[in-house]
Chains A and B, each alone.
Chain A
């Protein structure tokens, strides 16, 4: 008598449940919040991660680091980053910053680069950095 279904049925159930449930567990595995989320539910003085795209024309080098704004396409947040920026830091690139929000400026001390999924050659005309909506998840 073949009983292989005894393995396959529960295993299939497990797989389906895990996949469906984990999709809905969006809160616990979230790595960073977006500027929109920061504005909607501001948490002052607690360390948090903020992700967004560096707004072109806002990058200013200051004595102890760099100042710029990040956006998710809807809301811009001013950032003061202490320390040297990452090698790939540039206008239009995605960054994830760790630090605190005082209600006006996000004071960051750790910068990670979040590059997008596009790979383009130097002469390729297709690269389009102006898609900050990728942060608007």
Chain B
């Protein structure tokens, strides 16, 4: 009996998370690298606290975008052709494989966002009200999910492409602008108390459309691998 769509999705997701648990690549390499980036920016800008407080959220999102892409395309760069063939031979629904990879990447990205976010809050003295922290609990997962789906999609488009690891960020970065705008503007909205609703709606819409794109194109893309 063929496992259900949900079971296939969970299996793929578990595989990706297991791989992270064994290698610790995100935890011990990507996250420290992201934190160093924030520190380097501070060094190059100078220790002007009000300036850093203004720059902080924007820098944080830029770091999340640039380094988050690395997390979401990691699979593409470490997976061998034999592994891809095995997944295809097992008859796993391409859409389930796509969703599983995207969800695993979202979780890893969320972890990255939380730890690097803590670094940013501490080092750049970013301040929110209590409701602001609650709002971030909504904004962070939405941004993580959107970036993860976009990265996974770009990863499956560029699978087996020469220069893949260098190429994918170039494809993802300009397309991630709506997400980046929504994320930075919602932080801005929290500071000025102008509301974050339109930005949250924008992120939800982008997330939904990217998910539909990924699921619908999963099979044709897998067939050309």
Interface class of chain B by DSSP:
helix
A28 to B216, CA, bound (A): 32
Interface class of chain A by DSSP:
helix
Contact with A along B59-96 (1 / 0, CB 8 A): 00000000000000000000000000000000000000
Say yes or no: B185 contacts A10, CB within 8 Å.
no
Say yes or no: A6 contacts B220, CB within 8 Å.
yes
Binding stretch for chain A, among B10-18, B21-29, B99-107, B205-213: B205-213
Contact with A along B148-160 (1 / 0, CB 8 A): 0000000000000
**A22 within 8 Å of B (CB atoms):** yes
Say yes or no: A21 contacts B202, CB within 8 Å.
yes
**A13 within 8 Å of B (CB atoms):** yes
Contact with A along B179-216 (1 / 0, CB 8 A): 00100010000000000001000100110011011001
On whether A13 and B209 interact (CB within 8 A), knowing A3-B220, A6-B216, A6-B219, the answer reads yes
Q: A13-B209, A25-B181 are in contact. List 13 more A-B contacts (CB 8 A).
A: A3-B220, A6-B216, A7-B220, A10-B213, A11-B213, A13-B213, A14-B210, A14-B213, A18-B178, A21-B202, A21-B206, A25-B202, A28-B185
Min Cβ gap A96→B in Å is 22
In the bound complex, residues from chain A placing their C-beta under 8 Å from that of B213 are 10-11, 13-14
A14 to B153, CA, bound (A): 13
Q: Most A CB atoms within 10 A — which of B178, B181, B206, B216?
A: B216
Say yes or no: A10 contacts B212, CB within 8 Å.
yes
Which of B178, B216, B219 makes the CB contact (< 8 A) with A10? Answer: B216
A28 to B209, CA, bound (A): 22
Contact with A along B107-132 (1 / 0, CB 8 A): 00000000000000000000000000
B→A interface (CB under 8 Å): 178, 181, 185, 198, 202, 205-206, 209-210, 212-213, 216-217, 219-220
Say yes or no: B206 contacts A17, CB within 8 Å.
yes
A28 to B194, CA, bound (A): 13
**A137 within 8 Å of B (CB atoms):** no
A11 to B175, CA, bound (A): 13
In the bound complex, residues from chain B placing their C-beta under 8 Å from that of A22 are 178
Interface residues in A, total, Cβ within 8 A: 16
In the bound complex, residues from chain A placing their C-beta under 8 Å from that of B198 are 24-25
Say yes or no: A21 contacts B178, CB within 8 Å.
yes
Say yes or no: B219 contacts A14, CB within 8 Å.
no
**A27 within 8 Å of B (CB atoms):** yes
Say yes or no: A21 contacts B205, CB within 8 Å.
yes
**A60 within 8 Å of B (CB atoms):** no
Min Cβ gap B64→A in Å is 18
Min Cβ gap A59→B in Å is 35
Say yes or no: A13 contacts B219, CB within 8 Å.
no
Say yes or no: B212 contacts A27, CB within 8 Å.
no
Question: What are 9 A-B residue pairs whose CB atoms fall within 8 Å in the complex?
Answer: A6-B216, A7-B216, A7-B217, A10-B213, A11-B213, A14-B209, A25-B198, A27-B185, A28-B181
Nearest A residue (CB) for B223: A3
Min Cβ gap A26→B in Å is 10
**Ordered nearest first, which 4 A-B pairs have the shortest CB separation?**
A10-B213, A6-B216, A10-B216, A17-B209
